[in-house]
């Protein structure tokens, strides 16, 4: 009897959790459905204002807004703050998709559209659904997670392909070498898979990749 009671309690709890998940989807759709074409920018929450990736993210976000794009970030500190700051100060739509975490993640003050999430998978849908490109700055597990999520969705044709841009050649070269020399060499991926993303050190080049793609899909 006790075991059955626990199973029933878990079932009820899971059923009610579905309403929370649905509510997060609805809130995300309502806030983001009318934004201009957007670029999702990812990177370390630990980056400081004097770090090169912070400076680059802020500059690139400003340039994207000046070209007519909105900017989406994870809404927290570090690179996310930098990108939201650049977008907001350029007068554009600066979107922060904040996630509830026990550490690191506090909403930055520069997102003029802010949506809070409890569930990572709901938040990931918003990043992909409303972006025409990903820009991935140096970062940790969360950044790499978002990178491979996008690559996998494009590789498996679950979403239409869009540019995935890795900023900072020196930072990402080790990962790309491993993909080429180990993963590709052992036939776990194909040559075509390595063409999904672009590698650059230049914000101007990143902007042109995004802009060129946007002109193709308009």
Nearest to 127 by CA among 106, 99, 104: 99
* DSSP label of 99: E
Total residues found in the chain within this entry: 218
Within a 10 A sphere around the Cβ of 152, how many other Cβ atoms? Answer: 13
Q: What per-residue confidence (pLDDT) applies to 11?
A: 55
d(CA 217, CA 133) in angstroms, rounded, equals: 12
**SS3 call for 131:** strand
Domains of the chain: 37-217 (3.40.50.450)
Q: What per-residue confidence (pLDDT) applies to 8?
A: 44
pLDDT along the chain (218 residues), means of 10: 45 77 94 96 97 98 98 96 98 95 79 94 96 98 96 96 97 97 97 96 98 93
Tell me, rounded to whole angstroms, the distance of Cα 39 from its chain centroid: 8
């Amino acid at each position: 009897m006790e075991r059955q009671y626990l199973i029933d309690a878990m079932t009820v709890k899971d059923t009610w959790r579905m309403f929370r998940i649905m509510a997060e989807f609805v809130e995300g759709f309502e806030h983001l459905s009318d934004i201009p074409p957007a670029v999702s920018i990812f990177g370390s929450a630990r980056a400081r204002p004097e770090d090169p990736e912070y400076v680059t993210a802020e500059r690139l976000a400003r340039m994207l807004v000046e070209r007519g794009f909105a900017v989406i970030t994870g809404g927290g500190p570090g690179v996310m703050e930098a990108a939201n700051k650049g977008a907001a100060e350029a007068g554009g739509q600066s979107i922060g998709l904040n996630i509830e975490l026990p550490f690191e993640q506090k909403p930055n003050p520069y997102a003029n559209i802010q949506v809070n999430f409890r569930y990572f998978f709901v938040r990931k849908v918003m990043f992909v659904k409303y972006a025409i490109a990903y820009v991935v700055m140096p970062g940790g597990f969360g950044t790499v997670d978002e990178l491979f999520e996008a690559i996998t969705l494009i590789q498996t044709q679950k979403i239409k392909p869009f540019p995935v841009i890795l900023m900072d050649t020196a930072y990402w070269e080790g990962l790309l070498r491993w993909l080429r020399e180990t993963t590709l060499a052992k036939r776990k991926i194909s040559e075509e898979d390595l063409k999904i993303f672009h590698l650059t050190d230049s914000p101007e080049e990143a902007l042109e990749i995004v802009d060129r793609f946007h002109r193709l899909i308009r």
